[in-house]
Chain A
Amino acid sequence: MIEGSAAEIADAVNARRVSALELTNALAARIDERDGAVGAYLARTTELAREHAARVDARVAAGERLPLAGVGLAIKDNMCVAGTPTTCASKILADWVAPYTATAVARLLEAGAIPLGKTNLDEFAMGSSCENSALGRTANPWDLGRVPGGSSGGSAAAVAAGEATVALGSDTGGSIREPAAFCGVVGFKPTYGRVSRYGLIAFASSLDQIGPISRSVADSALLYDVMAGHDPMDATTVERPVEAAAPALRDDLRGVRIGIVKEFGLAELGAEVRAVYERAYDDLVKLGAELVEVTLPTAEYGVATYYLIAPAECSSNLARFDGMRYGLRVERPDVGATYEATRAAGFGDEVKRRILIGTYALSSGYYDAYYVRAQKARTLIAADFARAFASCDAIACPAAATPAFAFAAKTDPVSMYLMDYYTIPMSLAGLPSLSVPCGYVTTPGAHALPLGLELSAPLFAERALLGIAHAYEGATRHAFARSIPDLPRAAALR
């Protein structure tokens, strides 16, 4: 049963064929069994999970029907859950306990989801491999010698390993889509402003967005429908009605035009990877879609634009970590030295690097040349997408140029930043975008490694986007074509 989809689980719990508590206990046992090898979780909230499960069972017994009744949820550890540690995988917040619950989490729990624990991430969501976590190491369940992707690597690995039915991630430049691709699961970033960020610890405020990670498109749609919509606690959420996506999932692509980006030619990819994407585009056609070539001439400036805007915003957002009101403090005789020592001890390399990039880009004399120029580039990138969507309903491209890479394979920051080449432009334009499994490549060690097809749509076209992804998934079933290898037993965090 714990292998079932969120909808199947909720149906079974609502019909009282199985209790939320039984399912919660079964998932806890599964985590015991597998997480020693995978390391998806930084903290488990098993007691809280059982309390929620008991409450769900009581509500169902009283006649309520809950859309996520008993569905085991893993939560990226940059989202607050009242009374539980929320660390951002950083030493600066290692001992901090959240005093309130993020809106997105609260909505899922109210709908019957069960909070299983907090998952690993690159520190403050800055990274593409989870290697920047200061608090844990997460491996890719498909090959334990490889990274799960990042920054929502723990959430993607948890879902891929069956240690959660669904998970929450956050995506600033690809942090849901890239790990979902690396772990062979679905990862969906809604339109900027669609899902409340109240209780999400901010990294880059003009880009951050919460979204679901799941084993199927339908499960992501189910979570999205529960989470999306205006929240008075987040002034950046849009007051625009949410059209439920789950009822609009479709099985074919007749009449759908899919844009293939001229600048994202497959020729530069490795032969095996290229073959997977060529087949994916063919499969779209077989389902009835018409492929049209679109051009995004500014997309090649995406990474450069992003690495000015996101660090600039991060340097500002992370100024709040000064050791005064919460988190780590390294006491020095005066306040300035206390700030400096606290931040030096509390932040890891990548966070320091991005704070330095952002501070430099915003500093006197460089502000116009860097930050303002990047914001203008962003306008051009968004305009390119708007033009492209005049001739297509969605854009298809690789989610990443390679499958998951080995630990410590990328030592220079720029090569790591380029991992998000295909995901960053959509983030800069605020578009809804997802990764859906589209096949495998095999490594010399004979491991199958999943790849993800990225599908992106115009602002607020989540319903159409999820419908298209569902049709593709249903016809190919790549997410279920193979299963992860047997994992070695190792002691899991209790």
Chain B
Amino acid sequence: MESREIDVAYVAKLARLALSPEENERFASQLGAIFEHVDRLAGLPVGDVAATAQVIPLRNVMREDVPRPSLDRELVLGSAPRREGPYFRVPRIIGEDA
């Protein structure tokens, strides 16, 4: 995990974040410093210990398949940025230009 130049513009694309040129430059330098700190983990011999996803011994949790009321549709649609009748209105996704 040697220090490396982080291509922030590429990472931002993956994260669906539009960054200004100023932000690109600033975040690149800050991420460099952060990963310099994080890279100290290379000094910890982890060997083949198991990875911990979370600490509590929980297995898959199942519940009875019983229908129950969900949130009120009007309430939920009421906080949509745009709606059309009982639907969320979103920008065009399928089509030549998408």
Contact = CB atoms under 8 A, between A and B. Distances in A.
Given A357-B34, A363-B11, A352 B58 contact: no
A347 interface: yes
A15 B40 CA distance: 59
Contacts of A363: 11, 14
Interface in B1-36: 1, 6, 8, 11-12, 14-19, 23, 27, 30-31, 33-35
B46 A373 contact: yes
Contacts of A327: 79, 81
A137 interface: no
Contacts of A340: 16-18
Contacts of A378: 51-52, 55
Interface string A300-324: 0101110110000001000100111
A353 interface: yes
Interface residues of A, number: 72
B34 A414 contact: yes
A34 B88 CA distance: 42
B32 to A, nearest CB: 10
Given A305-B41, A352-B23, A363-B11, A414 B17 contact: no
Contacts of B72: 99
A45 interface: no
B91 A331 contact: yes
Contacts of B27: 352-353, 356
A255 interface: no
A414 B23 contact: no
A303 B44 CA distance: 13
Contacts of B50: 376, 379
A377 B47 CA distance: 10
Contact of B15 (A205, A333, A359, A414): A359
B15 A355 contact: yes
A413 B54 contact: no
Contacts of A359: 11, 14-15
Contact of B58 (A238, A298, A307, A323): A238
A486 interface: no
Contacts of B92: 334-335
Given A301-B44, A352-B23, A377-B46, A192 B16 contact: no
A220 to B, nearest CB: 21
Contact of A375 (B15, B19, B52, B97): B52
A313 to B, nearest CB: 10
A304 B18 contact: no
Interface string A331-349: 1111111111101100100
Interface in B44-79: 44, 46-47, 49-56, 58, 61, 63, 71-72, 75-76, 78-79
A91 to B, nearest CB: 13
Contacts of A334: 91-92, 97-98
A356 to B, nearest CB: 5
B13 to A, nearest CB: 8
Q: Which of A232, A322, A335 has the most CB of B within 10 A?
A: A335
Contact of B11 (A232, A356, A417): A356
A96 interface: yes
Contact of B12 (A96, A324, A356): A356
Contacts of B31: 353, 356-357, 360
A461 interface: no
B46 to A, nearest CB: 4
A184 B93 CA distance: 52
The residue in A333, A339, A357, A372 that gathers the most chain B C-beta atoms within 10 A of its C-beta is A357
B81 A324 contact: yes
A284 interface: no
Nearest to A93: B79
A377 B11 CA distance: 25
Residue among B56, B75, B93 having the largest count of chain A Cβ atoms under 10 Å: B56
A199 to B, nearest CB: 12
Contact of A232 (B23, B63, B93): B63
Contact of B55 (A301, A333, A376, A459): A459
Central interface residue in A298, A303, A325, by most chain B CB within 10 Å: A325
Interface of A: 96-97, 99-100, 191-193, 205-206, 232, 235-236, 238, 298, 301, 303-305, 307-308, 315, 319, 322-329, 331-341, 343-344, 347, 352-353, 355-357, 359-360, 363, 369-370, 372-380, 382, 412-414, 417, 428-430, 459
9 contacts: A206-B55, A236-B58, A301-B40, A301-B44, A327-B81, A353-B30, A373-B42, A417-B37, A430-B56
Q: Please list the 5 inter-chain residue pairs (A to B) with the smallest Cβ-Cβ separation, ordered nearest first.
A: A430-B55, A329-B81, A375-B51, A376-B46, A340-B18
Interface of B: 1, 6, 8, 11-12, 14-19, 23, 27, 30-31, 33-35, 37-42, 44, 46-47, 49-56, 58, 61, 63, 71-72, 75-76, 78-82, 88, 90-93, 97-98
Given A191-B56, A301-B41, A360-B11, 19 more contacts: A99-B76, A206-B54, A304-B39, A315-B15, A323-B81, A324-B90, A325-B81, A326-B80, A337-B18, A343-B16, A353-B27, A353-B31, A356-B12, A356-B27, A370-B1, A373-B46, A380-B46, A382-B52, A417-B37
